[in-house]
Chain A
Amino acid sequence: MPQDPPNFDPDLVVSQVIDGNKDAYRLIVAEYSLLVRGFLSARIYHLDDAEDLAQETFVTAYEKLEKYEIGTNFRAWLMSIAQFLLNNHWRKYGRRATVMEKFRQEIAESIQPELMQSSDDLNQEKIKKLLLCITKLPQNLRQVVRSGLEGKRIDDLSQELNLKPNAIYQLRHRAHLALKECMNQEPPLPQS
């Protein structure tokens, strides 16, 4: 089970929040937001939906904070809330999903254990390095990685780069492999 990042003691912060220091909860949000947003963005097609659900995760966790058992694993507890909300989202969304949306859900269910494992392998420190790693990618790989954020359709991108769609997927896959390697190797970022 992945542990909380070193140098950050969520139990201490949770105790402060429970004792009435609401503002301390911002530390929790700052520490875990990328992890939760990344987890949900990977599983939900529309980024806006993923962001909404990430917010709901932190709101729910805040409301239920007293139920968290100090001394256990805060990250796992938080991610279980995200997973619960995600399941709800799929259930709600599934009723009006198109054939292809249902297919995507079937894919997600098939690889659920692998997705969980892949998510568990990540920690905040690695995620924080990701931006730096993206900037180190060669131009064409960076362009492909950024295209997802810009909402570019693969057809447009393939026209722009003069490549076939499959070649774009291959480039993206290669970029992801390079990013993962970089995240695992990169020394910690200097503190400002």
Chain B
Amino acid sequence: MNFLNDPDFLDLISAWCENKSFSPTRRQQLLNRLNQDSDLRKALAHEIEMAGLTRAVQSGEPRWLDLEEKLGLPPENKNDFENQVWEEIASKPLQPENKVISFSKFAGFGIAAAFVLALFLNKPESTHNQVAKFIRVEGPLAESREWKSLEKGEEFKLAEGMVELAFKDTGVHLIGTGPLDMTLVDKNRLFLREGQIKLVVPPQGIGFVVDTMERKFVDLGTSFVVQASNRGSRVLVLDGEIAVGDPNSKQSMLMRKGGLADFDRNGKISPQSTKPSGVPDTDIDASPKGPKSLLGKLLAFPEAGTSTPGANDVKAISRFFLPLIQSQFQDQQSVSSMKQGPPLRFRGIAGTYDQFPQRYNLSPFSEQHGWMAWFQGKVSPPQKGKFRFWGYADNNLLVSINGKPVFEGSRYDSHFRTELKVPRNNHPALPCLNARAGFASGEWFEVDTSPVKIDILFGESQGHFTSSVLLIEQEGMEYESTYWGQPKWPIFATEGFNRNETSRLRNLQAHMEEKLMGSFSIPEEELWAVVE
């Protein structure tokens, strides 16, 4: 019997799963129905049983300390092979001399024996010790041999390029970039000596462990990136959560989506917060040239009269920009009293803008109290279709089409976010410059080839650490992707870029791809033409 549309069934489920409240009359009705209807009882029992079971199987292996205490420690020889591999790893220097696979004597003997046995039995290939299969290898070594699989205890090194692996049984997916040096302890565990890997762990791989010299990272159903070098290790949780254990103690800590932390060789942990993006300041020529430019102005926030962090942002946005946005950018009176810099030309938004207001003569007002660049004009898309913006800004970023905000990519504490509530999706798996929150995306909007009015607000609330990226995606368009799976959407631009600008953007691209696993493309044909 189908209970999908039975309101009693749905209410019983909501009471069971969500503790949803019902009136005494309704509760009695539901119990009466339950007592009378055996099919309903069966369906509910099935639903409850499956809900419990799916929770249990997905929640990973529990640590039952009381039971462990009863049973005592497991015998030391239980994981001889693993222990041997482990000792081998621990005894290796950081820059090992051996080039490829290393086993302990015991393990080597065991595998050799297995190999001989396989030959004896006339089997073409033994897969018993296979831990992971290669999906692809790119770089100078790619053609050097046939890449099939890695075995338990095998060390894998890659000086340049990238490798993509799938772990047997657990389905764990790994992407690593050279220089890389790691040992696959077994199908649930690897040791990362050097390099950067990203793991996506499906439910059956929950509990997968990545060890570095400093820490043990245990996946709890997630996607995360680990970097290791001779200075320490770093972890970034892209989705879900991980447990981070200290190999010298039983203590562990949980890290959740968006979490980033460094672990140095002395055991010091440094949770990372927003800091400079690490890319040089954007030195662009934004002075107006010709009629084909999208023009803007740079506005300085006045003093808020309080030292409370963020107070200036709240005051300035409430006082100057909310009336402007709410009037669909028609009522400019609110901003007319603000201190203004010289006119600006829109050159895309991508990079670090720490010195931006100083370059455009808004100092010292902007340094102390924040600033906002407002670009406006009429533009035509490269072709008709549905589009959406991607990006992020520390602090404020808002794009409006024909007076309606279609994208808000500001920092978590921006007053834009609290006041305007423009629909947005956050993508922490796509980290973006100094933002752990990753790229945000806006809603799709549709335009034909006729011009639309665009307004872009971008700025800083206080201080000098300003970064932003603003990209545009067209529905149905194929974009090249990064190793990490992010489509390289083009920078939203209204004019092409000259050689110097292109060179700067290429450096920014390299920085984002190498350090952050984010990227973009430099538009050539996807320019939005300024018509007014």
Residues of A within 8 A of B (CB): 22-23, 25-26, 29, 33-34, 37-43, 45, 47, 50-51, 54-56, 58-59, 62-63, 99-101, 103-104, 106-107, 110-111, 114-115, 117-119, 122, 127, 130-132, 134-135, 145-146, 148-149, 153-154, 165-166, 169-170, 172-174, 176, 179-180, 190, 192
A107 & B44 in contact (Cβ 8 Å cutoff): yes
B58 & A41 in contact (Cβ 8 Å cutoff): no
A22 & B14 in contact (Cβ 8 Å cutoff): no
Q: List 24 A-B contacts (CB under 8 A).
A: A33-B61, A37-B56, A37-B62, A47-B59, A51-B59, A62-B67, A100-B19, A103-B15, A104-B19, A107-B16, A110-B41, A111-B34, A111-B44, A111-B45, A111-B48, A122-B53, A135-B171, A146-B58, A149-B221, A169-B10, A173-B4, A176-B47, A192-B169, A192-B187
A114 & B55 in contact (Cβ 8 Å cutoff): no
CA distance A25 to B46 in the complex (A): 31
Cβ < 8 Å to A, chain B residues 147-188: 168-169, 171, 187
B12 & A130 in contact (Cβ 8 Å cutoff): no
Tell me if B202 counts as interface (CB < 8 A to partner A).
yes
Residues of A within 8 A of B38 (CB): 114
CA distance A189 to B8 in the complex (A): 38
Cβ-closest 8 pairs across A and B: A42-B52, A114-B45, A41-B52, A176-B50, A38-B53, A37-B56, A118-B49, A55-B64
Residues of A within 8 A of B53 (CB): 38, 41-42, 122, 127, 130
A38 & B52 in contact (Cβ 8 Å cutoff): yes
Tell me if B106 counts as interface (CB < 8 A to partner A).
no
Tally of contacts, chain A with chain B, CB under 8 A: 179
Most chain B CB within a 10 A radius of its CB, from A131, A166, A179:
A131
Tell me which of B71-79, B113-121, B333-341, B459-467 binds A.
Answer: B71-79
B45 & A115 in contact (Cβ 8 Å cutoff): yes
- With A22-B71, A23-B74, A114-B41 already in contact, the answer to whether A131 and B203 are too (CB < 8 A) is yes
A40 & B52 in contact (Cβ 8 Å cutoff): yes
CA distance A154 to B15 in the complex (A): 12
Residues of A within 8 A of B41 (CB): 110-111, 114
A107 & B62 in contact (Cβ 8 Å cutoff): no
A55 & B66 in contact (Cβ 8 Å cutoff): yes
CA distance A138 to B20 in the complex (A): 27
CA distance A131 to B170 in the complex (A): 10
Residues of A within 8 A of B15 (CB): 100, 103-104, 107
Tell me if B135 counts as interface (CB < 8 A to partner A).
no
Closest chain A residue, CB of each to CB of B39: A114
Residues of A within 8 A of B51 (CB): 42, 148, 172, 176
CB < 8 Å: which of A100, A117, A131 contacts B204? Answer: A131
CA distance A131 to B42 in the complex (A): 23
CA distance A67 to B47 in the complex (A): 34
Cβ distance B35 to chain A, nearest Cβ, rounded Å: 6
Cβ distance B138 to chain A, nearest Cβ, rounded Å: 27
A131 & B10 in contact (Cβ 8 Å cutoff): no
Cβ < 8 Å to A, chain B residues 190-238: 202-204, 221
A173 & B52 in contact (Cβ 8 Å cutoff): no
Tell me if B17 counts as interface (CB < 8 A to partner A).
yes
CA distance A179 to B54 in the complex (A): 9
Cβ distance A99 to chain B, nearest Cβ, rounded Å: 8
Tell me if B412 counts as interface (CB < 8 A to partner A).
no
